[in-house]
A and B are shown apart, each in its own frame.
Chain A
Amino acid sequence: MKTEDALPRRYPEQARAMVAGKPALRFEGVTHRYGAHVALDNLSLQVARGEVLALLGPNGAGKSTTISLLLGLLRAQAGTVEVLGTSPRRAVAQGRVGAMLQTGSGSGLPPSVTVEATLRLVRRLYKRPASLEATAERAGIGPLLGRQTHRLSGGQAQRARFAIAIAGDPELVFLDEPTAAMDVAGRRAFWRMIRQFGSEGRTIVFATHHLQEADQIADRVVVINHGRVVADGPGATLKAAVVEKRVRFVCSHPYDKELDQLEGVTDVDVQGRGVTLGSLDADATVRALVRHQVAFSDLEVTGGALEDAFVALTEHGCPSDRRSA
């Protein structure tokens, strides 16, 4: 965890002292259902200011629901959600929160307008935005400013959306699967920017299903599955405890972006025709392979039992600090 020195410089000393001890966000006993499906099951979580937190879990674990609740896009059906000491909606209205949401097949950007015009608009929606130059620099989109939004590649659009998320110079940033449309090199560059942005004292919460991303970027990783926190601690601790299963097979035309979206998948490694998937739920991943009609052969599943690792983590606690209840 970072010290209060890492808070954004624009806060006067007094305000800094006031906020230093308070959590950036608090989730207490939150339950959320979609019909009969329980998305969040009595979830409790606290994140300190300045912390970079990863919400790790397979697709459908409840990560997006958590972020939607924290942004006030959903209202909690039971339990308390607090963001920056107030309600999520108020924190958003005060311009203290930025977010990059999942957009499915869309770009998340307004059509027929330049990236720069969009950023200029977003800046004007906030009381104390960062300068256009600083935002473009932080998101690495300087060369894209004059581009029409519908002419951007998937990865470029993601970076433009990151710029939009931080244009208001927010204290707290939510990123929901921010690297979904990026290739490996794009991912690396993107996470470098995130780390840099986080080191300026902001609180960052990102959702991912990549164990590696969570481990390398976050100060702390919270593993969510079936709407519950199953593990909580610094990345290294989790990595030691959480043993992924490896699903290996041969496939004539492996398409890594599709494989990446399969249930349970945390990592995709394609070497020629050989594919290795890291998975938090190998059974679900194999079922998904069949359902998506991936033409695989020589299927092999290896690795420790993840459930055992989770049980060990949650019953005995992490060796180092466990901040959430």
Chain B
Amino acid sequence: MRQLLAFEGFEVGRLLRSWKFLVITVGFPVIFYMLFLKDNNTGQVIGGTVEWRAYLMVSMCTFGALVAGLTAGGARLSTERASGWARQLRVTPIPAWSYVATKVTASMLVILPVLVLVDVVGAVFGGVSLSPGTWSGLTALLWVTALPFALLGVFIGFMATAETAFPVVTGLMFVLGYFGGLFNPVSGMPRALQVTARLLPSFHHAALGLALLDGHGFGTENWLVLAGYVAALSLAIVWKHRAEELRGPA
């Protein structure tokens, strides 16, 4: 346990010392949020129950978690894999699974402050006012359900090369953001895009947050899709990691 904590501290420390990572993960959601706030229809009601300002804050939380998860894994991890460091760790006493577990945990640990930051922007500039209980409940919910984003970043780090990871991450940020309805509500999109959105983790992640706020209860579909992503990505990562530690990086 002591070893794993040391390893985790090392990983989180490296993330936080990377200014590129900080600029992207802090800057993107906050700048997007501020830009969208300029549309002054904050009181507009979406899909019958949710106000625009609540929708916007939850969407930007999801976007922040997505950006942090993708960036924490992504190109950083690809570069590191190519260096042979992962294989070197395999011949130290820590168990084989700890490499992947530490990466995913580090991503989760940096997603949390991003969510809190977006909450603060929402409370200060976004006109969102919630009870302390709802604030913490919402943040906890969005944090736990951000696991697919952490896994997705690590997955890309394992599949992509150092050169391809960056465009893939950037592309996915905007594809999952836009088509997941984080920049514009899905209800206003054409039918085909509405169907597409239901396949994306970003849509379901935000949907859970909104469900908590409008108090109508969670949709089973939201949980199932997110759980499906967690299962599929975990399996893919474990498979790739095992194959690689035996053969060495390509």
Name the CB-closest residue of B to A113. Answer: B14
Point out the residue from B6, B17, B76, B246 that lies within 8 Å of A74, measured CB to CB. B246
Name the CB-closest residue of A to B86. Answer: A110
For the complex, what is the distance from the CA of A160 to the CA of B197, rounded to whole Å? 49
Q: Mark A98-124, 1 if CB is under 8 A from B, else 0.
A: 110111111111111100010001101
B51 within 8 A of A: no
Q: Are B80 and A125 in contact (CB under 8 A)?
A: no
For chain B, the bracket of interface size reads 20 to 34
Most B CB contacts (10 A, CB to CB) among A92, A93, A110, A161 go to A110
For the complex, what is the distance from the CA of A172 to the CA of B98, rounded to whole Å? 23
| Complex interface: chain A residues within 8 A of B191 (CB) | none
For the complex, what is the distance from the CA of A92 to the CA of B13, rounded to whole Å? 26
Q: Mark B71-101, 1 if CB is under 8 A from A, else 0.
A: 0000010011011110110111111000000
Name the CB-closest residue of B to A71. Answer: B91
For the complex, what is the distance from the CA of A124 to the CA of B13, rounded to whole Å? 15
Given A97-B91, A99-B91, A108-B10 contact (CB < 8 Å) = no
What would be 18 A-B contacts, judged by CB atoms less than 8 Å apart?
A73-B245, A92-B92, A94-B93, A101-B248, A106-B85, A106-B249, A110-B85, A111-B79, A113-B13, A122-B92, A124-B6, A125-B92, A125-B93, A126-B92, A126-B93, A127-B93, A161-B88, A168-B93
Residues of A within 8 A of B (CB): 71, 73-74, 92-95, 97-99, 101-113, 117, 121-122, 124-127, 161, 164, 168
**Extra 4 A-B pairs, beta carbons < 8 Å, given A74-B246, A111-B76:** A71-B91, A104-B249, A106-B85, A161-B88
Q: What 8 A-B pairs are tightest by C-beta distance, nearest first?
A: A103-B84, A106-B83, A124-B6, A108-B84, A106-B84, A95-B93, A99-B91, A121-B10
Point out the residue from B7, B76, B79, B93 that lies within 8 Å of A92, measured CB to CB. B93
Q: Are B84 and A121 in contact (CB under 8 A)?
A: no
For the complex, what is the distance from the CA of A112 to the CA of B14, rounded to whole Å? 7
Q: Are B83 and A110 in contact (CB under 8 A)?
A: yes
B38 within 8 A of A: no
Chain B contact residues: over half helix, strand or loop, or mixed?
Answer: helix
Q: Are B95 and A106 in contact (CB under 8 A)?
A: no
| Complex interface: chain A residues within 8 A of B82 (CB) | 105-106
| Complex interface: chain A residues within 8 A of B216 (CB) | none
Given A94-B93, A110-B80, A125-B94, A164-B88 contact (CB < 8 Å) = yes
Distance in angstroms from B154 CB to nearest chain A CB is 15
Q: Are A124 and B2 in contact (CB under 8 A)?
A: yes
B40 within 8 A of A: no
B3 within 8 A of A: yes
For the complex, what is the distance from the CA of A113 to the CA of B80, rounded to whole Å? 11
Distance in angstroms from B12 CB to nearest chain A CB is 12
Q: Are B83 and A92 in contact (CB under 8 A)?
A: no
B18 within 8 A of A: yes
Q: Mark B201-230, 1 if CB is under 8 A from A, else 0.
A: 000000000000000000000000000000
For the complex, what is the distance from the CA of A102 to the CA of B13, rounded to whole Å? 27
| Complex interface: chain B residues within 8 A of A74 (CB) | 246
Q: Are A107 and B84 in contact (CB under 8 A)?
A: yes
Given A71-B91, A99-B91, A108-B83, A124-B3 contact (CB < 8 Å) = yes
For the complex, what is the distance from the CA of A117 to the CA of B11, rounded to whole Å? 11
Q: Are A108 and B88 in contact (CB under 8 A)?
A: yes
Name the CB-closest residue of B to A75. Answer: B246
For the complex, what is the distance from the CA of A92 to the CA of B89, rounded to whole Å? 11
Q: Are A125 and B84 in contact (CB under 8 A)?
A: no
Point out the residue from B17, B91, B249 that lies within 8 Å of A112, measured CB to CB. B17
For the complex, what is the distance from the CA of A95 to the CA of B2, rounded to whole Å? 14
| Complex interface: chain A residues within 8 A of B85 (CB) | 106, 108-111
**23-62 of chain B: CB within 8 A of chain A:** none
Q: Are B87 and A101 in contact (CB under 8 A)?
A: yes
For the complex, what is the distance from the CA of A261 to the CA of B248, rounded to whole Å? 19
| Complex interface: chain B residues within 8 A of A164 (CB) | 88
Most B CB contacts (10 A, CB to CB) among A93, A106, A161, A164 go to A106
Most A CB contacts (10 A, CB to CB) among B91, B93, B245, B246 go to B91
For the complex, what is the distance from the CA of A102 to the CA of B247, rounded to whole Å? 12
Name the CB-closest residue of A to B88. Answer: A108
Q: Are B83 and A73 in contact (CB under 8 A)?
A: no
| Complex interface: chain A residues within 8 A of B7 (CB) | 121, 124-125
For the complex, what is the distance from the CA of A298 to the CA of B6, rounded to whole Å? 58
Q: Are A101 and B84 in contact (CB under 8 A)?
A: yes
Name the CB-closest residue of B to A74. Answer: B246
Q: Are B90 and A104 in contact (CB under 8 A)?
A: no
Name the CB-closest residue of B to A96. Answer: B93
| Complex interface: chain A residues within 8 A of B84 (CB) | 101, 103-104, 106-108
Q: Are B90 and A73 in contact (CB under 8 A)?
A: yes
For the complex, what is the distance from the CA of A124 to the CA of B94, rounded to whole Å? 10
Name the CB-closest residue of A to B2. Answer: A124
Distance in angstroms from A78 CB to nearest chain B CB is 17
Most A CB contacts (10 A, CB to CB) among B3, B76, B82, B87 go to B87
Distance in angstroms from A39 CB to nearest chain B CB is 13
Point out the residue from A73, A101, A124, A126 that lies within 8 Å of B246, measured CB to CB. A73
Distance in angstroms from A230 CB to nearest chain B CB is 26
Q: Are B14 and A110 in contact (CB under 8 A)?
A: yes
| Complex interface: chain A residues within 8 A of B2 (CB) | 124
